[in-house]
Chains A and B, each alone.
Chain A
């Protein structure tokens, strides 16, 4: 079968690989070892495969790998590291917003995209912002708490910095 050579960036690193046209970005990323991108449904319903594509959160199962030539992809791996957590990650832990953890990578990226666009969202706006990401464990309340707390925290930090 014909393969296509595709160059793109994942978490700031250049990637060059060959894919058949029918491979989804989700499958391609997992083949390349980015297992933090989860496969829940492969039809755009669950959001566990969320990545940022040129800054916008998308379902990677709804993109073909051959479509990402020259694009920039961010997975949850570049959000923070074990000893340097992103404020969202800290707050997810603090508020008990993680149980099995399967939805968490996608949830964090949707939350980050939301806060990038709207620094002080209401609870309704947070609900809307994560409405493409399913969580079967937490009941969402704690996830929304964690995102709200992060927004408040980032705002106070900013104020402090200005003074």
Chain B
């Protein structure tokens, strides 16, 4: 690891002042679970590392006016220990149960997971389905952007030099809304997802009033599959429609081959998992679907 300068400011404004005018010469240290190995491997060579660990005001989970607000420095363990998240944001709660392992969860933060912008980011997939927005602060002020626009390309986000992600906000889904999450990995613990699916389904009088479906690890960024959502909207959902929705999701994914799985396998699993999760979350009877046998 090459040397760098280190600052540990006590407030967000001090941190913003420290990075102002630094261009791309600095890196923000949150949980460090990705940054520190990247520094060690020499994958990045910042001149300055600014540690947010001392900024207590960036660690909170609050419910306000029907919205959930999570401070960027909140760790995955903090989320797991929060009855508010468990009760009011079940989709996010389900997703973090399979986030790495307990040691990593004690350090890794929500803000860091989003800024890393891995296509497999475990908090990004449920947060996309929850219509989350992120607050970006800079010395000049702040802007709030939809998470759906935040990820711009593989490991790229809208964050500009001088900005720090300070908060994640999302509307708390009404209690009637059903949710489903599934992460397909090569093993149970510490797995990076092969494909992950998060969804919220609003069913009124048996008709799907609204749907939000997000996928991880099937494109350069975590993403919402709006065309698949449209398949469900305004219709009565049964296993057949869920299958159509899965096929549409697979069509709109652009997975790659990597050490964890092939692109073809990922695409097929998209279809299978979207179908399965719709049926499971709505309690619809469904038989296992073999897309390959059926010539999908």
Residue ranges of A at the interface with B (Cβ–Cβ < 8 Å): 1-2, 4, 20-22, 24, 42-45, 47, 50, 53, 56-59, 61-64, 66-67, 69, 110, 113-114, 127-129, 131-133
Contact = CB atoms under 8 A, between A and B. Distances in A.
B18 interface: no
Interface string B159-197: 000000000000000000000000000001110000000
A132 B40 contact: no
A143 B279 CA distance: 38
Interface string B34-73: 0011011000000001010100000000000000000000
Given A1-B3, A42-B37, A132-B101, A66 B106 contact: no
A114 B105 CA distance: 14
A128 B189 CA distance: 8
A22 B190 contact: no
B47 to A, nearest CB: 11
A62 B5 contact: no
Nearest to A106: B103
A58 B105 CA distance: 8
Given A22-B3, A62-B36, A67 B53 contact: yes
Contacts of A1: 3
Contacts of A21: 3-6, 49
Given A42-B37, A42-B40, A132-B102, A58 B6 contact: no
Nearest to A53: B106
Nearest to A22: B1
B188 A131 contact: yes
Contact of B8 (A66, A110, A114, A128): A66
A128 B102 contact: yes
B129 to A, nearest CB: 25
Nearest to B39: A22
B4 A22 contact: yes
B106 A44 contact: no
Contact of B5 (A2, A44, A56, A69): A2
Given A21-B4, A47-B101, A58 B106 contact: yes
B3 A132 contact: no
30 contacts: A2-B5, A20-B3, A21-B6, A21-B49, A22-B1, A22-B2, A22-B4, A43-B40, A44-B103, A44-B104, A47-B103, A57-B103, A58-B103, A58-B106, A58-B107, A59-B107, A62-B36, A62-B37, A62-B104, A63-B107, A64-B29, A64-B51, A67-B29, A67-B32, A127-B189, A131-B101, A131-B102, A131-B190, A132-B100, A132-B104
B283 to A, nearest CB: 25
B33 interface: yes
Contacts of A131: 101-102, 188-190
A56 B106 CA distance: 7
**Looking at A22, A24, A44, which has the most chain B CB atoms within 10 Å of its CB?**
A44
Nearest to B3: A1
Given A62-B36, A64-B32, A132 B103 contact: yes
A31 B79 CA distance: 35
Contacts of B5: 2, 21
The 4 closest A-B pairs by CB, nearest first: A132-B101, A131-B189, A21-B6, A132-B103
A110 B189 CA distance: 15
A61 B101 CA distance: 15
